[in-house]
Amino acid sequence: MKKILLGGAALIAMFVGPAMAADMRVKAPVLKAPPPPVIYNWTGCYIGGNVGGKWARTDDRVTIDATAGTPAVTSVFPWETSSTLIGGGQVGCNWQAAGSNWVFGIEGDADAQRWSRNRVQPATVPPLVVGDSFDIRSDWQASARGRIGYAWDRTMIYATGGAAFTNVKVGANFPVFVGAVVFPATIASDSKTLVGATLGGGVEHAFTNNWSFGVEGRYSWYGSHTFNSGLLAAIPAAGGGFLFAQATQTIRVETFEATARLNYRF
């Protein structure tokens, strides 16, 4: 009887022991929270290129100073608009504090362009005559600006403003005028780098950690500037030698541009 009991106990232990051990090894799965999403940060410096269109508004005031034998004359040409393609590059740096949506930056850019405008004197007002022509041209622009943006992860809207620079070249062509006095033909040109202000805004999206694409629009204004258009040599009809009349052109320039921009952040 004792042997039977011992054998039964051993048999029970063979089946119950492994089952109990298996139950002891099984634990409930531990649920872990997913990692928080990584928010894009705009901090860093970048370089890029841009291409777009530009519209330039100019007005022109041509003045011939008085001499001993001629009165002063002014001819006013009202605002007119010229358009051009522009293209160039930009470089800048951004800073965004951790946990903040605000982005602060600086940027400089330079672009090639070619807008021009030609005006022709419509009526004779001695010494100005029909056919006198006056032209304005610009070949490049640049700016140095600050930027303030608000970012939603990889997309940012921003405002920008600062100093604007552009070259302007003016020309004047006065054909021979014969009247109370004789003005020989005169051709003159002058050029300056204008300094003004620019203001605008844009939107930019980072489609990878290093590359971003955006569009930007800006308005720039440069005030009034006077250019030298040469000395007109006048020979009075009664004789007495040459008189010289100073010619000037005073112009105002305002521009608007829209560009697409591609940047690489390093």
pLDDT in tens, 32-75: 767 767 789 999 999 999 999 999 999 999 999 988 767 899 99
Please give the C-alpha separations between residue 38 and each of 82, 122, 131, 181, 209, in angstroms, as whole numbers.
47, 66, 68, 80, 12
List the structure tokens of 243: 């008189």
Predicted confidence at residue 117, as pLDDT, reads 94
The DSSP code sequence of 135-153 is EEEEEEEEEEEEEEEEEET
List the structure tokens of 60: 């022109």
**Mean predicted lDDT score pLDDT of the chain:** 88
List the structure tokens of 179: 């009247």
46-70: string of b/e by CB count within 10 Å (b at 16+)?
Answer: bebbbebebebebbbbbbbbebeeb
Reported confidence tier of residue 23, pLDDT bands at 50, 70, 90? low
Query: What one-letter code names the amino acid at 173?
Result: N
Flag whether the pTM goes above 0.85.
Answer: no
Q: Which residue has the higher pLDDT, 31 or 137?
A: 137
Beta-bridge partners for 255:
56, 220
Where exactly are the structural domains of the chain?
Answer: 42-265
